[in-house]
Amino acid sequence: MGKSFDLSLVLDFIPELLRYLHITLIVLGGSIVLGLVGGVLLAVPRLYRIPVLSQLATLYVSFMRGTPILIKLFLVYYGLPELLKPIGIDLSRTDPLLFVIVTYALSDAASFAEIFRGAVRSVDKGQTEAAYAAGMTTFQSFRRIVVPQALIVAFPNMANTLIGSLKDTSLAFSIGVMDMVGRGQTLISATSHALEVYISLSVVYYVIVIVLEKGFAFAERRLQRHERKRVVHKPAIRAKRLKEVVQKVRF
């Protein structure tokens, strides 16, 4: 703080912060891709009720959803080097970026696992039975019949997770990552205009979120273009849809 408030500085800070946007996007992209893979690996044992693996997956998902992202960030930051030391991997000089990507990937995997599980469950069992009747194998019916339908259900939730994850990246600075917020911190040390920096950061995040939301809404309409022919106007279904609108709160 200290110096007087100058709103025009916001315009100077925005381009300066945008130069670090790619770090934020690398964290987001890396963690989402790894999280998707992890999510599938976690969801399958629970869907097919594979003993032991299914219980382990449940425990993992419960822990990941039961602890704050900041704690998970610290656990990975302090824990991963300890974990890898015995097998001869030294992480003491690693870019903290790696820890952030690993944390968000582990965390997103749990969210995606729940989303996939719910989505697959939402596909009518008769669809699988029909596929079997037509002579498909379990794998074929899953891939060709269930997954395409489940993806349409999962898409809005996945989009929400991605946006939540983007907002979570604002915490990466706490372990010393030079992303937009990290750069903001150095700008504050240099200029002592904290409020202006945070206004700039908020504007940048807000614009990215709006762009993503618009993009996802468009993609969702395209995905559902074959679905809309079915008439669903029963109040119960409408209420169910509305419930889905409000997702788990993420910051």
Partner 1 sequence: MSIDLQFIYTSFFQILKALPLTLVITIVPLIAGFGIGLATALIRIYRVRWIHRIADFYVSFLRGTPMLMHLFLIYYGIPMIIDKLSERYGWAFQSSSIPILVFVLIAFSLTAGAYMSEIIRSGILAVDIGQMEAAHAVGMSTFQALRRIIIPQAIGAVLPNLCSMFVGFLHGSTLAFTVSQMDILGKADVVASVSLKFLEAFIAAAFIYWGLTIIAERITALLERRVAVYSKGGVS
Residues that bind partner 1 (CB under 8 A): 1, 5, 62-63, 65-72, 74-75, 78-79, 82-83, 85-86, 167-168, 170-171, 174, 181, 194-195, 198-199, 201-202, 205-206, 209-210, 213, 235, 238-239, 242-243, 245-246, 248-251
Q: Distance between the two ends of the chain, CA-based, in angstroms?
A: 25
Nearer to partner 1, 218 or 251 (CB): 251
Nearer to partner 1, 131 or 187 (CB): 187
Q: Which two tokens stand for residue 106?
A: 């582990």
The Cα 29–Cα 15 span in angstroms is 22
CB of 209 to partner 1, least distance (A): 4
CB of 77 to partner 1, least distance (A): 8
CB of 82 to partner 1, least distance (A): 5
User: Is residue 48 classed exposed, middle or buried when 0-12, 13-18 and 19+ CB atoms within 10 A define those classes?
Assistant: exposed
Residue 226 · residue 202 · CB < 8 Å: no
What are the helix (H) ranges across the chain? 8-18, 21-47, 53-66, 69-84, 96-122, 125-133, 138-141, 147-168, 180-191, 194-223, 235-245
Residue 131 · residue 144 · CB < 8 Å: yes
Nearer to partner 1, 145 or 183 (CB): 183
CB of 180 to partner 1, least distance (A): 10
Nearer to partner 1, 146 or 201 (CB): 201
CB of 63 to partner 1, least distance (A): 6
Nearer to partner 1, 34 or 195 (CB): 195
Q: Which two tokens stand for residue 143?
A: 């891939």
